[in-house]
Amino acid sequence: MAKEILLGKTLEELTQVVLDLKLPKFTAKQIADWLYKKDITSIDEMLNLSLKARTILKDNFDIGLTATIKEQCSVDGTKKYLYPTNMPNQFIETAYIPDDDRATLCVSSQVGCKMGCLFCMTGKQGFQGQLKAGDIINQVRSLPEWHQLTNIVYMGMGEPLDNVPEVMKSLEILTADYAMAMSPRRITVSTIGIIPGMKTFLNESECHLAVSLHTPFDDERKKLMPVQNVYPVKDVLKMIREFDFGRQRRVSFEYIMFKGINDTPAHVKELCKILDGIKCRMNLIRFHPIPNSPLLGSDEETIEEFKDLLNKKGITTTIRRSRGLDIFAACGLLSTKELVKQQS
Ligand code: SF4
């Protein structure tokens, strides 16, 4: 039988592990230190644990680190990694995006996704399973460049707030002093607006929030994103309005520009109306066409005009640079569908 995995356990869980194994309580802190701060890949390398403790631990647990099994490099420096997961024959993709003064990792939170957004390759793959916190942390910890990382975004495969318990655990491990000790201001969780998950995330973490908006109009959003039928964006915005983000925490909105669909001055006007009173930023994203989709991306001129109009109306708006297009690592293009097909 497969052993339990240490990676992805919080300090509280590790404490329970060592107590169950009749090891001293302080061993939990030592294990966390090795797992989340150092470059070891085996329990044998946890040298400040007694030989007895390492043996008992090895008899019962695996460390849970799994190296990437495929790496692709884009002409623009973006890299895409393929990782195995806790589920047999299920894989995820992770995008590493280096820039001048920052290096961002775009992590996955599920294998596939059940949300069915019309414009997304991951959505087209369907849902294959929830990642464990260990699978999420492994994308960081097994990344060849993990010491260079400055930012992490939960914008890879899956809807993070459809996997709240494991995502929240992974956020604790990324930010806690006993583990990776990253500033929550360097981590952004992106959601299409799953209200119950947003409540937990906002109350129990300090990381930034990004909401995929894509249109201010109800009917249009229903066509693009079925979630609108369950959690209408007006309710999402009501919740955001009522939450105190403080001075440092940020909410941003993601807006993919579709030609002739959501890129008109009427959309700008309505966006200003529905976002009134919310201190936020808007990220415009170029649409990267996916197979068998009638959707097209807006042209550059329209995107620029849209940005200028929003800025003039007081909504700080930027256009996100498309990265890793040639290796299908750009926004909305991550998918392990081919691997799913091969396994079935
Ligand atoms: Fe899922 Fe996000 Fe793709 Fe929608 S955009 S289908 S929520 S991965």
The pLDDT of 116-122, averaged and rounded, is: 93
pLDDT at 344 over 60: no
Q: What are phi and psi of 134, to 5 degrees?
A: -60, -35
pLDDT band at 332 (very low <50, low <70, confident <90, very high): confident
**pTM for the predicted model, two decimal places:** 0.96
The mean of the pLDDT values for the chain is: 95
- The reported pLDDT for the residue numbered 152 is 98
Ligand 1 geometric centre to CA of 252 (Å) = 17
pLDDT at 181 over 60: yes
- The reported pLDDT for the residue numbered 334 is 80
> Could you tell me if the CB of 120 is within 6 A of ligand 1?
yes
12 burial type by CB count under 10 A (0-12 exposed, 13-18 middle, 19+ buried): exposed
Q: Candidates 92, 159, 213, 258: which one to mutate for ligand 1, based on the most atoms within 8 Å of Cβ?
A: 159
Closest CA to 14 of 122, 169, 237: 169
Q: Candidates 108, 114, 117: which one to mutate for ligand 1, based on the most atoms within 8 Å of Cβ?
A: 117
Characterize 208-246 residue by residue with b for buried, 16 or more Cβ atoms within 10 angstroms of its Cβ, and e for exposed.
bbbbbbbbbbeebbeebbbbbeebbbeebbeebeeeebe
- The reported pLDDT for the residue numbered 326 is 84
Ligand 1 geometric centre to CA of 123 (Å) = 5
- The reported pLDDT for the residue numbered 44 is 97
